[in-house]
Structure 1
Amino acid sequence: MFDWRQALNRGLVIPAHPLALTAQRKLDERRQRALSRYYLDAGAGGLAVGVHTTQFQIRDPRVGLFREVLSLAAGAMQGLNVVRVAGICGSTPQAVAEAQTARDLGYHAGLLSLAALAQAPVAELVEHARVVGEVIPLIGFYLQPAVGGRRLPLEFWREFAALESVVAIKIAPFHRYQTLDVLRGVAESGRASEIALYTGNDDHIVLDLLSHWNLDGQPLRFAGGLLGHWSVWTLRAVEMLGRVHALREAGGCAGPDWFALAEQTTEANAALFDASNAFAGCIAGLHEVLRRQGLLEGIWCLDPEEGLSPGQAAELDRIARLYPHLADDEFVARNRDRWLT
């Protein structure tokens, strides 16, 4: 039987799954399945579905795609030893209902967004997590405020990590001090050895994975990544994480090539996520790469106003020209037709 907790702790590439739409902004089931097949064939150890990259609007009753999108990905993962992560959002009743849907579809854990509780005190946030955690194991989520998250203090992370239902935390504030708040909170909870830490800091991916800490006598390091950035060029992410794990096992130290790769990856992310425009084009930028590879037909989002920012396509051109080794275009070209069948 697949021990998904052990796999999660070992460290995986978990892409945050995008949403494939037609020009009419309706779900494109064929291309949605193709994306899942791409990630799984590239060696991803799991999929995160119904998260920010999937577009939170899938929950809008006028859209009504939450269950359908989770079901399509669950079908692609059927019979595979991969970790199934579902995004969980909203007030407590909504979050509980989403957790029940995810559990019923065979998902292992829920990535818990707290954006809907923007003004709630720490005690209310922890109680919310406790209730949802009675339905499905939890992965904590520090979503950066620039795309809808909220500030979460050290106190919250210490109390949240103490919950037995918490199996992992995606740390994605794009902020080093706030990243340290999570790490300290986990260390002070006494459960550091039980909680898998996943980088969601798309601006700091490689260095997060190479770093390690010793806080209050608790050794801490990132096991893997659960990232929107890894929804493109996924084969290269799998190869990179494999090299990180090999380096750790050998007890080696990162050399200059690693630091060069770290800066190249961050520069690429600035183009993908549209950092110069406050991340306005962060989903469209990922879609554009997938469109260029032929996996998506267009870059359409549920929100008609959401698209590439001026100059973003040119930035993606520049990254492709300077750092072709970051892309997996040949792998996609060899397999695309099969994934799309």
Structure 2
Amino acid sequence: MHRDDIPQDVMALLQRGTVIPAHPLALDAGRRLDPRRQRALTRYYLDAGVGGMAVGVHTTQFAIREAGLYEPVLRLAAEQAREWVPRPVVMIAGACGPTAQARREASIARALGYHAVLLSLGAMAHAGEDELIAHCRAVAQEMPLVGFYLQTAVGGPVLPPTFWRRFAEIENVVAIKIAPFHRYRTLDVLRGVALARAEDRITLYTGNDDHIVLDLLAPFALRRGSEEVTLRIRGGLLGHWSVWTQKAVQYFARVQAEAAKDSASAAMLALDSQVTDANSAFFDVANDFAGCIAGCHEVLRRQGLLEGTWCLDPHEGLSPGQADEIDRVYRDYPHLNDDGFVREHLARWLA
């Protein structure tokens, strides 16, 4: 599948920039897939107004592969995206592992109607740059790629500007999720894209859950030889946006409007720190992100979308004190939660 095979309305949405939550996994008390609540989550995101969804990614838990859930989970989301809303939805599937596995997962995603794959390089963290680029080129033969700078705290390798320049030169790359949670490394991606002269072909998405609003507001002015090139991060593909999603869609629209005018209000700058503080609770920053998936599950459990916070790994759960931190950000930032929206529609999503 080539980038030209992506429907025009879907590609236009991806390039304009949109809200793409990283889709969690709904399990029952036996740590088995709960299809009813998995569908409810997808319906929640669609009714909240997202422009796309990323499924089979870190927030979905990489262990779905070993559990035999990769294809069933991708299929449930793809079916709901087609049936629940009459509008374009950018569907991105996670792909990971060695080249043969990543190509196989890309092939599954293509067959299910996905538009691109978000390629995690975590399993190849010790490979050299040439090997990584060869791997990416091989997977790009199957599907359009979304690059992924995964933070080192959860297994991502450090990737220099030379890697990102060579990656951006791959014709079938459509976007890059920048998620190192690191300002210097974020700039490495931007420099690589600029040096590849790919800024008009590749759309940049923030995955920096610790810096969401400012990533979307800021123009990045870089030098390319004798010229200055301005790049912008157009949208977000975020685990943070798997919760309080309706409010995220609303503030994203305000951020886009201000960015289009090359302005940033004091209120929007203040919002950045509030969203980051909320993320610190959800992602369990106090414990080096140990409870980052369970923290999102806890918010969804409180809203009734999930029955519990169970993860595939029985040792993975909320850290001590994390629930108290979630209580705190609920108190401190009531304008950021969408509990009322969820209460209004939950029964219909679970039907």
TM-score bracket for this pair, using the shorter chain length: over 0.9
Gaps of 5+ in 2: 1-6
Which residue of structure 1 aligns with residue 230 of structure 2?
219
Q: Deviations over 1:253-276 (max 9, x none)?
A: 212111211111111100000001
CA distance in 2, matches of 1:3, 1:325: 32
Gaps of 5+ in 1: none
1:181 alignment partner AA: D
Which residue of structure 2 aligns with residue 69 of structure 1?
73
- SS in structure 2 at match of 1:23: coil
- Preserved contact between residue 26 and residue 34 of structure 2 (Cα < 8 Å): yes
1:214 alignment partner AA: A
Does residue 171 of structure 1 match 2:178?
A: yes
Which of 14, 21, 24 pairs up with 2:27?
A: 21
Which residue of structure 2 aligns with residue 323 of structure 1?
333
CA distance in 2, matches of 1:270, 1:5: 32
TM superposition shift of 1:71: 0.2
Which of 114, 117, 131 pairs up with 2:124?
A: 117
- SS in structure 2 at match of 1:110: strand
CA distance in 2, matches of 1:257, 1:14: 23
Q: Deviations over 1:61-88 (max 9, x none)?
A: xx10000000000001115411000000
Deviates more, 1:23-32 or 1:258-267: 258-267
Does residue 236 of structure 1 match 2:247?
A: yes
- Preserved contact between residue 255 and residue 268 of structure 2 (Cα < 8 Å): no
TM-score, normalising length: structure 2:
0.95
- Preserved contact between residue 144 and residue 150 of structure 1 (Cα < 8 Å): yes
Q: Deviations over 1:141-180 (max 9, x none)?
A: 0000101111111110000001001000000000000000
- SS in structure 1 at match of 2:208: coil
CA distance in 1, matches of 2:210, 2:54: 19
1:236 alignment partner AA: K
- SS in structure 2 at match of 1:168: strand
Which residue of structure 2 aligns with residue 87 of structure 1?
94
Which residue of structure 2 aligns with residue 286 of structure 1?
296
CA distance in 2, matches of 1:339, 1:301: 22
Does residue 339 of structure 1 match 2:343?
A: no
- SS in structure 1 at match of 2:318: coil
Which residue of structure 2 aligns with residue 265 of structure 1?
275
Which residue of structure 2 aligns with residue 45 of structure 1?
51
- SS in structure 2 at match of 1:222: strand
Q: Deviations over 1:86-120 (max 9, x none)?
A: 00000000000000000000000000000111111
TM superposition shift of 1:248: 2.9
Which of 7, 11, 19 pairs up with 1:5?
A: 11
Which of 248, 263, 278 pairs up with 1:253?
A: 263
- Preserved contact between residue 2 and residue 81 of structure 1 (Cα < 8 Å): no
Q: Deviations over 1:172-220 (max 9, x none)?
A: 0000000000000000001111110000000000110111112223220
CA distance in 2, matches of 1:218, 1:302: 44
CA distance in 1, matches of 2:325, 2:8: 42
- SS in structure 1 at match of 2:177: strand
Which residue of structure 1 aligns with residue 40 of structure 2?
34
CA distance in 2, matches of 1:32, 1:48: 14
Which of 305, 314, 317 pairs up with 1:295?
A: 305
CA distance in 2, matches of 1:245, 1:311: 35
The RMSD of aligned alpha carbons is 0.9
Which of 182, 186, 194 pairs up with 2:193?
A: 186
2:50 alignment partner AA: A
Which residue of structure 1 aligns with residue 137 of structure 2?
130
TM superposition shift of 1:252: 4.7
CA distance in 2, matches of 1:139, 1:218: 22
Percentage identity across paired residues of the two chains: 63
- SS in structure 2 at match of 1:119: coil
CA distance in 2, matches of 1:252, 1:200: 22
Aligned pairs, number: 338
